[in-house]
Every structure is written in C-alpha cells, then in structure tokens.
Structure 1
Amino acid sequence: MPSHVFADHAAAQPPERGAVDALISQTRRLRGEVDAVRRDAVADHADPTGRWQRALCDLAVHQLNDLDDHLAQLRDGPPRAGAESAVPDDPAAAQEPRHGSLLSRVGSAEWNLLTDEASWSGELYEILGRDPAAPPLSLDELPSLVHPDDQTLLTAMVTDCLIDGKPIDGEFRVRRTDARVRQVHMMGEPVLAADGSTASMWAVLRDVSELRRSQRVLSESRDSLQRHRDIARTEHRLAVELQESVLPPWRDTLHFPHGSPARLDLAAQYLPSSTGARIGGDWYDAMELPDGHALLSVGDLTGHGVAVTSGMAMLLGALRGMAVAGAPPGRLMGWLNQLLDQTVQPALGSAVCCRYDPDTRRLTWAQAEHPAPLLFRAGTGRALTPPSGVLLGATSGAAYEQADEHLRPGDVVLLHTDGLVPRRDRATATNLLLSLAPRIGEAHTAQECLRTVVDAFGEAPREDDACLLVARV
C-alpha cells in the first residue's frame, strides 16, 4: 500500500512514547473529572438549564473519549497491513460500533487508480456494516452505500480529490445492511506518483453518529434554554408592567368630607427583591369609600410571575368593588377567600383589611394569617391583637372575625407584608419594626415615617418583594 502522504513530502517520525503516554494520562484524568460533573449535573428533564448542562457534559466526554483513542493510536502506531479487527462473540454487539474503542469507529481505505485495486481495513467493514469476507467497493461503487440525499456530495468530494488534488473533508450518511443509518466523517488525500499524476486516493472514515447526536442534543437544549429565558424575560416584563399599573409610586394625604377635621396622611412603597426577578403578588391599597370611611389593605399572594401578579390585580379589584358596596372587613375577607377557592388556578394569600371611620377615629380590621398592623403612639409601638382568620384560599366557607382599635391624633398605623424585614421570622421582624418607635414618634408626616422604615430595612438584601403602607392620623 503506498504511503498516505504526498510524494514530495517526507514521512514524519512518530512521537516519543513517553510524551504520548503523559498526554493520555492527562486526558483520562480530565475525562474522569468531567464525568463526575456530568453525574452531579441537574437531572430534571423538565429544567432547560439542567438539560443544557448535561448535554454539554455528554459532548465533552465524547470528545475526550475520542482524544484518548486518537492518542492511543498515535502511541501504538498504524495497524499492521492486512490486520483484521476482532469479531465480537455477541452478534448484537457487532451491529453497533463499540464506543470507547477507536478501532471500532475509525477505518481506513485506499483506492489504487493504476491497478483498480481497493484496500479496506477491518474497522471500515464494521463501520459500513459490510461483510468482512466481501471485496471492498470501488470508488464508483461506494456511493451505493450512501444515503441518496448525500450521494452528490460524496461524488463531488472524490472528483475534486482525484482531478484537482483537493483534500477530502466532509460528512455523509451511510445506510448499513442492518437498516441503520450512521453519520460518517471522511478525510483523505490523493497520493501522487513520481510524475505528479494521481496514483491512488487514501481516506480515513470515522463514525461520528454519537458525536453528532450529542451535538444535536446540546443545540436543542441550548435553544430550549434560550426559549425558556425569552419566555421568562417576557413574563417578567409583563409582571412588572402589570404591577406598576396597580401599584404606582404613591404618597398622598387622604382628606375626608362631611366637615370632619380628622384626616389620614398616607404613604406607601413597594420594595422589590434584590435580584428584581422575583415579581410576586404583594399589594398595598388605600381608597375613600362612598360613606366617607377609608379602606386600607395590604396582602400577598403566594408565588411569583405574571400569573400571580395578574391574580393580585384581580383580587385587589374585587376587594375595592366589594368594599364600595359597604361590606365590613370580616365579610370582605370571607368573600376574597371564596373567590380564591373557586378560581381556575387556586392560590393562597394572606391579607389585612382595615376600615377607618374619621368621625370616631375607629379602625375596624380583619386579617388572613397576615402580620398584624403596628400601632405607634407617643414614641412607643405595639402590634394589634389579631382576630381569628385563616389563609385566603386555604379552606371553603371560612369565617373571619373583626377587631376594633380607637386611634388618636398623631397615631401611626403601619401595614406591611412578610418580606419587609429580610430573612427574619414574623415575631423577630415585628420586634425590629417596633424598635423604630422613638424615631417614628419624632416624624411629622407619613412620608417621614415611611422613610424611617425604608432607611432601616429597604436596602437589606431580600429574597422576596414586600409592600409597606403608613397611615398617620
């Protein structure tokens, strides 16, 4: 068999065995480390990020296996002329190339143009699914094994090699006799005679089916991850826009009619999570009712995303409508519970709802497993004793009790959601907020009180968003 180099090039000397052995050891160590990362990668097939991570690891392992095999062949030198590949004892194993053995996935061939002889290695018979006892196919016969859609490509590569002396480097699909379709990568060159004419053509053919499959999985996982990110960005944008339309930056003084000197000075603020990506169902609200009373409320639906934000907007709209109809806080809570219990996508929520009478300065309120309102008076503070009430949406037909509190001029009522004091349980958060009583007592407006609380806890890293509503008599 002629040498697989151009006639005007000298044959390269093989590298030192020790240097190649060192490279093989490094490759195998790296493959073990990548394989360990692959085993620890997210296995949840419903998670696009996990699928992408595992696909990357699988592809890296394939590449390192191939590198290990190539280095082993480089160390051991080319196979002996006429050597045949071992035939496996298991017939089923013979139908599929043995992953991890280069000799089962890479074969060589040479076609002598002067004698019309062809020479195939035993590995090439296995890759192409041919009987080792059958004669090798000529260049004219070779396209008969190739998928019809790829025959033109193979013919063009061979023609360019033989006529123009161009190296062969391309891939095509092969239909084996066992009906399996394999992806084959072919690299080759013409071998020139002394007079410069093409004497023969040699080629190395490699089964890259598993490698291409891994690359497809990686590409599909990457596309899936990108779609997931695009959807998440769109949902986040919609959630932000919806939330901003429901909870605009707001601070105002709410005056009451009927000639009453009483009034409520109000200020409120929404505090996002540290990442800004977890838009939840927190809300605050204040409105004047037809009878001159004021409705104050804060609440939180469980979960995050546009569905939860839209649910919060629906709940807040229902709360306003039922309050205008004259329902007291306890009944409002019962109706909100029924509404959540009967929605298509059931949800849970906590809330506190207060009705303030400016003539008597009486605050009537009900709650659904929500932090109780905090009352600050004359430099001291305390949490109001909560009436009975379960989470909204937790059970059908729940009843919600009411409690009353008489307010005085200068009193400050603080309503908030759980995320206001980050990473604290409810009791600890309440104590920390109450510790601000002396500073809140020195404030002259609701906005000053709000700023005191935000300065204390607004900049702390928070995993969840929060709402804060301050009412000063």
Structure 2
Amino acid sequence: MPSHLHEDHSSAQPPQPGAVEALITQARRLRGEVDAVRRDSATAADDEDPQLRWQRALCDLAMHQLDDLGEHLGQLRDGLSADDQAAIACPDPAAEPPDAPAVQALGRAGSAEWDLLTDAVDWSDELYRIFGRAPQDGPLTLDEMPSWLFSEDQQTLTEVVTGCLVDGRPIDCEFRIVRPDGSVRTVHMVGEPVLDSTGGTASMWAVLRDVSELRRGQRTLRETRDSLQRERQIAQTERRLAVELQEAVLPPWRGSLRFPQGGGPTDIDVAAHYLPSGTSALIGGDWYDALPLPDGATLLTVGDLTGHGVSATSGMAMLLGALRGMAVAGLTPGPLMGWLNQLLDTSAQPALGSALCCRYDPADRTLTWAQAGHPAPVLFRNGTGRVLDPPEGVLLGATSGASYAQATEQLASGDLLVLHTDGLVPHRTAFTPATDTTAGAQRLLGLGPRFEQARTAQDCVRIVVEELGAPEREDDACVLIARFL
C-alpha cells in the first residue's frame, strides 16, 4: 500500500515489466499444476478417505492463494496511472477520489478514506459491493462502522482505529460484518494515518479486502486436519487394542512345544507364527492353536475371520474360545465345526470365517480333521509334500444348519503337517478351495527338501517365513507346523 508518511522519500523504481510478466506466467503454470492434482484426487477419491479430503482441501486453499498472487502481480505489472498516484500521494478531501485500478484489479478489495477535518468519507465502488451497500446510501463513517460488525469484533476495530488516529499506528485487523441481506463476510483491513504539515493526523486511508472464501478454505483445512488427526488417533487406539487382544488370546510361543507335555508314547513338536500384512497396519482375525485334550489327543487348529481391527480380533477370540471349550468337552472336528457355524450365524455382528480343525490321537496315530472353506493341510513325508483331500465344508456363517464332513489320515513317525490361513501363500484369492494348487501353493510344497533337513518345527516355521514372509504381503496370515516324532 502506498505510504503517506514518507512523501519526502524518493520512490523506488518499479520492477521491469518483463520480470513481472515471467512471475505471472510462473504463477499461472503453478496454479494449473495444483488444479491438476486437485482434479486427480477428486476423480480417484473415496469421499470417506480422510487423507484424500485433506489433499483436496490443501489444493483448494493453494489455488485461492495463487489466484490472489496473480492479481497482485497484475497490479504490479500495470502500475498506477498518474492521476491515481497524485490522488494517493496528495489526497484532496474536497476532490472526487478516483477508483484506483490497482485496487479494482484485486477484485475483492476496496479502498476508503475518512477525513478527520471535514468528516468526509470516500469509498471505492468495490467497497460498496463488499458491504452489500447501495452507493446512493453513501459510505459508512467511522462511528457507523462498528454497528455492522459482530459484537465480539467491535472492540478490535475500535482499538486499531483509535491507535491509528491518536498514535499514528498502522492498521491491520480482521472482522466480520453482517450485510443488509443477512449474509456474513470476513473483512481484512489494512490502513495508515495521513499526516498534515504539522505532523498531526488529517485522515485515515485503508484498503478493505473480503477474505471470506480464504478463511472458509482455511477453516475447512483446519477441520479436515483435526478430523484426520482424530481418525489417526482412533486407528492407533484400535490397533493397540487389537494387538493386545490378539496377544492375550493366541498362545505366546517363542519356540517349539512338545505334546503331550507330560510325556507319552508319541510326542508332537509344534511351532506357529503370525505374519502381519505388509500393506496394512490393521490386525486381522487369523488364529492358530494347539491344545492337549483330556483324553490324550491333541487339538491343532488355524482359522481366519473376515475383517480387520478390534471387531475381527474380538470375533476371533470368541470363536477360538468356543472351539477350545467344545474340543475339551470331547466334540470331534465335524460336529465342532457345525456348532461354530451356528455360533457365527446367530452372532449380533454377522461375519464369515474359515477354519481348519484337526484332532490327533496318538494311540493309533490317526488324524481326524474337518474344514470350513479353508485351505487343506499339507502333509510332508520323506521330503515330499501333498495337499490332503478336503472333506466338504462351507464357510462359517455362510448358511444356517450347515453340516461338516470329516476326513482321516494315518500318520507315521517323521511326518510333518503344515496348517496355514489363506493369506500365507501369495496369489491366492481369499477363501479359495483347499484343492487349489497354483504356482503360489507349489512354492509351499517346494519347501519339502528344506523341511527334511530341519531339526525342529520351529526351524520349519523359520523356513516358511523366509520363503513366504515377503514385506509386500497383502494380508496377514498364520502358519502352524507339527512334527510327529
């Protein structure tokens, strides 16, 4: 804004038109690039994604500011006419003030001058439009201005105007006005005193700019940022709860376990591992478990409940608890799956799940097992693996009253059994049939020679993690390996 306080100082040389034109071109190009980013995020955006909402709000605000920058640069390029410079440098209260083209170029800004000696007030046309006031009604005096403001903003305006008129301080403040049509606008006001020859304040000159859209954009940006932060905090809390629940439910193994733990005719060396997703921070509903039963048999199970987060882990905890209880009560895998299906089918929060339940009887080395839409176990013998033929069984929660068949397998000393959830082997579709032996499944079968050289079940788990525990894993998974000694 031109200063009236240093009229005796030589004015600075205006910038070269070519340099300003180059800045204008750069500002336009930058705005176009920001607008392209905005359009891309709007086209590919999910309105529920807080990160995309945040990106769009940032782009909107940046484009508003670049528009204003372009207008200011246009003012700098065009300059002021000789008449305008004279009117600003030597204001004549009695003269009709011209509308400064530089101010009009701003589009949402207008100028005003209040003369303290004659009480005359001059407003530019744009200022009438900002206030929604008809030109025939005349400009507002300094005494009338506060009545247009919000009550909480009136004191701010009074203080800065008093400081300008009494102490000669520049004005820089913001306030909200209520126009005659009831609409509210936010106005930014910058100004300075115009001194007379004695150094006293003769008038006050100011530029008032309508910044309603800018403040609205900033408010949207702030609200989006706060919303994103809250959602992040909620997600972090949910993840912590899901992890704590998962750790409380899944067996806290740090190595191989031997079943029966009290010693018996045949031991099982068991190890398991949970592999988190490499593309999501959310915890899924995968589980594994190995449990000695009262009759001397051993329960081996893995499963996966759809969904992620606390709802999935809490549902998994419910299913695993029920599974353990029914297995201890003596239910065999087929009927046990039927009751799990009914439990999930009648749950208050409907969900789907896959499960694999094996009961190993050491007396005759018989493995009895059932599955509910789950990948079948892989049995390795003498370094060669094969996928067991699955009995019939639909996903848990898919249909009411489903029945589940059982299959039996005769095991021998040295056999290795691999149970896993469907996220373990890459390139599988969720809940694909257990008989699917795609290239990904062949990778698991191809580990037979390495398993043959391993000494413990835990060593076998490490081999699986090394081969299939890729960081780009799309889903979480569990693997349980049992060596029959």
Do residues 390 (structure 1) and 401 (structure 2) align? no
Do residues 125 (structure 1) and 136 (structure 2) align? no
Would you say the 8 A contact 1:280–1:305 is kept in 2? yes
Q: In 2 relative to 1, CA 103–461 (structure 1 residues): closer, same or farther, beyond 3 Å? A: closer
Distance 2:261 2:219 in 1: 67
Would you say the 8 A contact 2:109–2:207 is kept in 1? yes
Q: CA deviation at 1:9?
A: 3.6
Q: CA deviation at 1:376?
A: 0.9
1:466 partner letter: A
Do residues 456 (structure 1) and 467 (structure 2) align? yes
Distance 2:67 2:358 in 1: 68
Alignment map for 1:8-407 (pairs within 5 Å): 8-42=8-42, 43-78=45-80, 82-83=97-98, 102-250=105-253, 251-255=256-260, 260-274=264-278, 277-407=281-411
- How does the TM-score come out when normalised to structure 1? 0.91
Q: In 2 relative to 1, CA 11–175 (structure 1 residues): closer, same or farther, beyond 3 Å? A: farther
2:294 partner letter: P
Distance 2:137 2:371 in 1: 86
Q: In 2 relative to 1, CA 187–460 (structure 1 residues): closer, same or farther, beyond 3 Å? A: closer
Q: CA deviation at 1:7?
A: 3.6
1:336 partner letter: L
Would you say the 8 A contact 2:80–2:100 is kept in 1? no
Q: In 2 relative to 1, CA 365–76 (structure 1 residues): closer, same or farther, beyond 3 Å? A: same
Q: In 2 relative to 1, CA 65–217 (structure 1 residues): closer, same or farther, beyond 3 Å? A: same
Q: CA deviation at 1:83?
A: 4.6
Q: CA deviation at 1:294?
A: 0.9
Distance 1:102 1:294 in 2: 84
Distance 1:340 1:85 in 2: 75
2:317 partner letter: A
Would you say the 8 A contact 1:85–1:123 is kept in 2? no
Would you say the 8 A contact 1:256–1:262 is kept in 2? no
Q: CA deviation at 1:450?
A: 2.3
Q: For 1:169, what is the secondary structure of its paired residue? A: strand
Q: CA deviation at 1:34?
A: 0.9
Q: In 2 relative to 1, CA 335–176 (structure 1 residues): closer, same or farther, beyond 3 Å? A: same
Q: For 1:234, what is the secondary structure of its paired residue? A: helix
Would you say the 8 A contact 1:284–1:468 is kept in 2? yes
Aligned counterpart, 1:417: 421
Do residues 431 (structure 1) and 442 (structure 2) align? yes
Would you say the 8 A contact 1:66–1:102 is kept in 2? no
Between 105-114 and 3-12, report the one with greater CA deviation.
3-12
Distance 1:153 1:256 in 2: 79
Aligned counterpart, 2:91: none
Distance 1:430 1:190 in 2: 82
Q: CA deviation at 1:226?
A: 0.2
1:42-75: per-residue Cα shift (whole Å, max 9, x none)?
5433222122111111101111111112222222
Do residues 440 (structure 1) and 451 (structure 2) align? yes
Would you say the 8 A contact 2:360–2:367 is kept in 1? yes
1:386 partner letter: P
1:444 partner letter: R
1:55 partner letter: A
Q: CA deviation at 1:4?
A: 4.1
Q: CA deviation at 1:158?
A: 0.4
Q: For 1:261, what is the secondary structure of its paired residue? A: coil
Distance 1:464 1:418 in 2: 9
2:116 partner letter: L
Q: CA deviation at 1:103?
A: 4.7
Counting matched residue pairs gives: 457
- Structure 2 runs not aligned, ≥5 long: 88-96, 430-435
2:128 partner letter: Y
1:351-389: per-residue Cα shift (whole Å, max 9, x none)?
110011110110000111211111111121111111111
Q: CA deviation at 1:127?
A: 0.6
Distance 1:223 1:445 in 2: 51
Between 313-322 and 263-272, report the one with greater CA deviation.
263-272
Overall identity of the aligned pairs, in % = 66
Distance 1:460 1:121 in 2: 65
Between 357-366 and 386-395, report the one with greater CA deviation.
386-395
Do residues 465 (structure 1) and 469 (structure 2) align? no
Would you say the 8 A contact 1:169–1:188 is kept in 2? yes
Aligned counterpart, 1:91: none
- Structure 1 runs not aligned, ≥5 long: 87-100
Q: For 2:137, what is the secondary structure of its paired residue? A: coil
Q: In 2 relative to 1, CA 223–53 (structure 1 residues): closer, same or farther, beyond 3 Å? A: same
Would you say the 8 A contact 2:115–2:202 is kept in 1? yes
Q: CA deviation at 1:462?
A: 1.5
2:156 partner letter: L
Q: For 1:310, what is the secondary structure of its paired residue? A: helix
Q: CA deviation at 1:28?
A: 1.4
Distance 1:136 1:354 in 2: 88
Aligned counterpart, 2:94: none
Would you say the 8 A contact 2:72–2:106 is kept in 1? no
Q: For 2:159, what is the secondary structure of its paired residue? A: helix
Q: For 2:136, what is the secondary structure of its paired residue? A: coil
Q: In 2 relative to 1, CA 227–3 (structure 1 residues): closer, same or farther, beyond 3 Å? A: closer
Distance 2:55 2:322 in 1: 44
Aligned counterpart, 1:94: none
Distance 2:272 2:37 in 1: 48
Aligned counterpart, 1:92: none
Would you say the 8 A contact 2:333–2:368 is kept in 1? yes
Q: For 1:429, what is the secondary structure of its paired residue? A: helix
Distance 1:31 1:55 in 2: 15
Distance 1:144 1:180 in 2: 15
2:29 partner letter: R
